[in-house]
Chains A and B, each alone.
Chain A
């Protein structure tokens, strides 16, 4: 059974860089899948951040594009999110998820991790 697990600091200072890792276990990180990040501010809806695949094709939400980097490390079976110059508005639960290529099916999700931006 595939499992995704987010990890990283739960508290980040304003203007610094948020860094999270999603570790994939029980399955391959290669093949025809896309690996992405979604966030949810407290009490609000879901926001798509971006995704990548093992060949390096990467797509980002236009509203975050200037601050976001998503990368995959197939040897370590994880993919990462970096969001620079954070503000309080970036406080959210961050989810990693897998999408089956050629479909809209986000079939596996991590449990989510709360990141708070505060000094």
Chain B
């Protein structure tokens, strides 16, 4: 299985909105509403911020939102804050009952 495609890096200024894409195929992202997003700080374990495409766990800021269109899922962060600077990963369920991560995106807050 091939890794999902994410941009290597994105950047934005405080207060702006950014979107990170996660592109797969009809065998993963496009076939199921089982896509989640994780935020990871250096040296720390990842933390879930969106699951099942657009669900936000309790305690996660409303500034994080998720969506999906066709074979591409997206994570949007609105009102960027310095603390949002981190790596972000998507993961999707696949037709062979496995899971596949995206390559990760480094978010820089300018």
Contact = CB atoms under 8 A, between A and B. Distances in A.
B1 to A, nearest CB: 6
Interface residues of B, number: 28
A106 B104 contact: no
Interface string B71-94: 000000000000000000101110
A105 B46 contact: no
B52 A48 contact: no
A26 interface: no
B74 to A, nearest CB: 15
A109 interface: yes
Contact of B34 (A38, A95, A104): A104
A59 B103 CA distance: 21
B1 A103 contact: no
B96 interface: yes
B2 to A, nearest CB: 10
Contacts of A104: 34-36, 51-52, 91-93, 99
